[in-house]
Amino acid sequence: MEHSNIINQLIIILAASVAAAALFHRLRVPTIICYLVVGVVLGPKELGLVNDVSQFQIIAEFGVAFLLFTLGLEFSLPHLIALRRVVFGLGSLQVLICIAVFGGLIYLSRMVYDISLTGTLIAASAIALSSTAIVSKELTQRNEIATAHGHTAIGILLFQDIAAIVILVLISVGGDAKGEEMAYSLLAAGAKAVGFFLAVVAIGKWLLPPLFTEISKTRSEELFVLTVLVVALLAAAAAHALGLAMALGAFMAGMMLGESHFRHQIEAEIRPFRDVLLGIFFVSIGLIIDVDLITEYWPRILLFSACLIVFKTVLIAMLCKFFGNQSHVSIRTGLILSQGGEFGFALLALAVKGSLVPRDVASFFLSIIVLSMAATPFLVSNSERIANRLLARRQQQRQQETEPSNGETAPTDVSHHVILCGYGRVGQTIARFLQQEQIPYVAVDDDPVRVQRARAAGEQVHYGSARKMKVLQQLGLTSASLVVISFDDHSTARHMIQEIRALCPATPILVRTRDDAHLLELQEAGATEVIPETLEASLMLVSHVMVALGLPGRKVFAAIDQVRKERYKMLHGFIVGQHGAYGMSRYQGHLQPIYIPATSFAANRTVGELNLEARGASLHTIRRGNDTVMNPDAETQLLAEDVVVVTGEQAALEAAEAYLLTGK
């Protein structure tokens, strides 16, 4: 009966989450808020359909563990070494200052709340830590992990997770423990953590790569997924058995696998499990929200939540600025980490269990943490806008002192630009030539991984379906000078052309097809030009054959150009000419953006000094703020907070990334 009850309640949670997610998606409300609302509605204070929250805590913890596992795939050991100043310097100062300030305020009000000194420390620690789950999820969804504020925020969160373990040890020892007993416990926990880290490093270096190599040879997706799940769960369970956080153990395992060839496939396979379990985690938070307490004391709770957000934003922004970050990055990092975190729930629960904090006081602080977490998606999504407004006066002064630059603008503000529908091989090739000629463009693609990597490299790519007119309108369709449909789907292209023509009769539309089988059909639909890829490849092959036979090059290319003029009138100024085909091999292979922290090996070194070609890779472009350095030469210097785009085969890219970050 007990198992049946758990299953029934889990079905209710999943069904309610599906319905709510569909509704909230239409209302453009973040999914995290959706899950919190589901938890509140189903909880014991409202409908009462789910009463025992503890039944779902293990499932919820696994959701956070899987999130940290995928995050570890992005933060390899070289990344962690490069971010050591942020993790142990900036992170430690943030935690200590927050605990000191919050602890002082809570202790001064102890006559009102009747809380002990140990309880004061625990409550202060609970609201000093930020939410790893929410921040990581929001940054991942917005493709902002590989940015300056993303790296800084994750670095601080990593130290907070380490600090949470220390605080949990202090609680387990108890408030009346002697100094020797407490020091012994902390020393034992530290030894376990170091031993676990070394074991994970050894397993990740010598055991996991050959294991996944053998698994991949079977070409069984089922076996690969099972192996990934076992590795993630074993790491989380081993950490839990040693008294460490499950999420931290999963992160270490992901970090080790992040240096392997399989990290992208692993991330793709584990994402569905992560998202479902993480949804249950946020529902479990909603289940413990005390609606009656919020209703009774809502002015005080709102005030304290706002004070928490403002204080942590200002403090973290000031610390980031002190550590050398730009003002814009500092403010965005502060806004992103301004909330309380899920570790606060564990701290307060243990404190209540040990009679260190009164239950009503814990509920009050819990309400503050939950409200601040609920505000996080809005703060993250609007962090850039808020930072711009706060820095508006300084930016205006800089604009008056310097010449106006050709910075990036939002898609809706662009005019006379090119819209690229699809950002695959063809779309990227067109974009590079447009970028080189400084012709404004925006691209749209429905592959989230491709969009994430392209945006990390500083390219104007947006996630969405080009088949929907609303998406094209948001990209400035009515003011565009050209629309390029670069994917090979003649049926979809025909419908798009008809819809675009109904709204913009005069806008030129170029369509790429694999061959000329549907050329007439697309032209009748309204395409300005249809470019069959096989025909153009044939023309280039013909030109090389004729030159090899001894015909004068000028005559050959004049003949080819004449063919192009007759078949591709609009493309005359853009098509690859007699020199365009040479050097295209540099775009083959994989492209990978790599963020360069100030403490990395590559910072302030020139491209020539780094000599990436010796490792089988080459530097493609450098993204520096709103500027892009195309074709960097040997004298070009890499600066802190640059995003460099490296091209090469996967093994060469991994070696180049480790070298740029650590010099090894």
- CATH code of the domain covering residue 622: 3.30.70.1450
**384, 400, 424: which is the final residue of a domain?**
384
% of the chain residues with pLDDT over 90? 7
In the chain, the number of structural domains is: 4
Contacts of 85 (CB under 8 A, 6+ apart): 323, 598, 599
pLDDT of residue 49: 81
Pair 66, 16 in one domain: yes
Report which listed range, 99-108, 141-150, 175-184, 581-590, is most confident.
99-108
Q: Which domain holds residue 563?
A: 534-582
Q: Give the residue with greater pLDDT, 179 vs 341.
A: 341
Residue 390 inside a domain? The answer is no
Residue 478 inside a domain? The answer is yes
Residue 175 inside a domain? The answer is yes
Q: Give the residue with greater pLDDT, 37 vs 563.
A: 37
Mean pLDDT, residues 166-173 taken together: 64
Mean pLDDT, residues 80-88 taken together: 80
The CA-CA-CA angle for residues 420, 423, 425, to 5°, reads 120
Pair 432, 489 in one domain: yes
User: What is the rounded CA–CA span in Å between residue 609 and residue 560?
Assistant: 43
**346, 368, 384: which is the final residue of a domain?**
384
Residue 400 inside a domain? The answer is no
Q: Indicate which CATH number applies to the domain containing 457.
A: 3.40.50.720
Pair 317, 374 in one domain: yes
Q: Report residue 408's pLDDT band, with 50, 70 and 90 as the boundaries.
A: very low
Pair 211, 298 in one domain: yes
Pair 153, 197 in one domain: yes
- Single out the residue of 297, 272, 277, 279 nearest to residue 37, CA to CA: 279
Q: Report residue 585's pLDDT band, with 50, 70 and 90 as the boundaries.
A: very low
Residue 399 inside a domain? The answer is no
When mean pLDDT is compared across 59-63, 188-192, 335-339, 404-408, the lowest value belongs to 404-408
Here the contacts of 445-452 (C-beta below 8 Å, separation 24 or greater) are 447/423, 449/264, 449/268, 450/423, 450/424, 451/143, 451/423, 452/143
Q: In angstroms, what CA-CA distances link 586 with 389, 454, 490, 583, 649?
A: 41, 17, 30, 6, 11
Residue 614 inside a domain? The answer is yes
Pair 508, 573 in one domain: no
pLDDT of residue 584: 36
Pair 452, 569 in one domain: no
Here the contacts of 398-404 (C-beta below 8 Å, separation 24 or greater) are none
Pair 201, 263 in one domain: yes
| The pLDDT of residue 328 is above 50 | yes
- Single out the residue of 439, 507, 524, 428 nearest to residue 473, CA to CA: 507
150 near 139, Cβ under 8 Å?
A: yes
Mean pLDDT, residues 504-511 taken together: 89
Pair 26, 87 in one domain: yes
When mean pLDDT is compared across 140-149, 411-420, 576-585, the lowest value belongs to 576-585
Angle between helices 208-217 and 246-257 in degrees, nearest 10 = 70
User: What is the rounded CA–CA span in Å between residue 9 and residue 13?
Assistant: 6
Span 620-654, pLDDT tens digits: 788 887 777 877 888 888 988 888 888 877 778 87
Q: Report residue 483's pLDDT band, with 50, 70 and 90 as the boundaries.
A: very high
| The pLDDT of residue 312 is above 90 | yes
pLDDT of residue 1: 45
273 near 226, Cβ under 8 Å?
A: no
Q: Report residue 172's pLDDT band, with 50, 70 and 90 as the boundaries.
A: low
Pair 559, 596 in one domain: no
3-state secondary structure 282-305: HHHHHHCCCHHHHHHHHHHHHHHH
pLDDT of residue 105: 86
Q: Where are the beta strands (DSSP E) in 290-440?
A: 418-421
pLDDT of residue 310: 93
Q: Give the residue with greater pLDDT, 253 vs 265.
A: 253
| The pLDDT of residue 309 is above 90 | yes
pLDDT of residue 566: 58
405 near 626, Cβ under 8 Å?
A: yes
514 near 534, Cβ under 8 Å?
A: yes
Report which listed range, 84-88, 445-449, 532-536, 580-584, is most confident.
84-88
pLDDT of residue 74: 67
pLDDT of residue 572: 35
pLDDT of residue 374: 82
Pair 485, 577 in one domain: no
pLDDT of residue 579: 37
Mean pLDDT, residues 142-162 taken together: 82
Pair 83, 38 in one domain: yes
Please give the mean pLDDT across all residues of the chain. 78
Distance from CA of residue 336 to its chain's centroid?
13
Residue 438 inside a domain? The answer is yes
How many CA atoms lie less than 13 Å away from 2 in the CB half-sphere?
Answer: 2
Q: Report residue 656's pLDDT band, with 50, 70 and 90 as the boundaries.
A: confident
* Residues 235-272: b if buried by 16+ CB within 10 A, e if exposed: bbebbbebbbbbbbbbbbbbbbbbbbbbbebbbebbee
Span 28-50, pLDDT tens digits: 777 777 888 888 888 877 787 87
pLDDT of residue 405: 39
**527, 547, 569: which is the final residue of a domain?**
527
Mean pLDDT, residues 521-534 taken together: 83
Residue 178 inside a domain? The answer is yes
pLDDT of residue 3: 58
| The pLDDT of residue 174 is above 90 | no
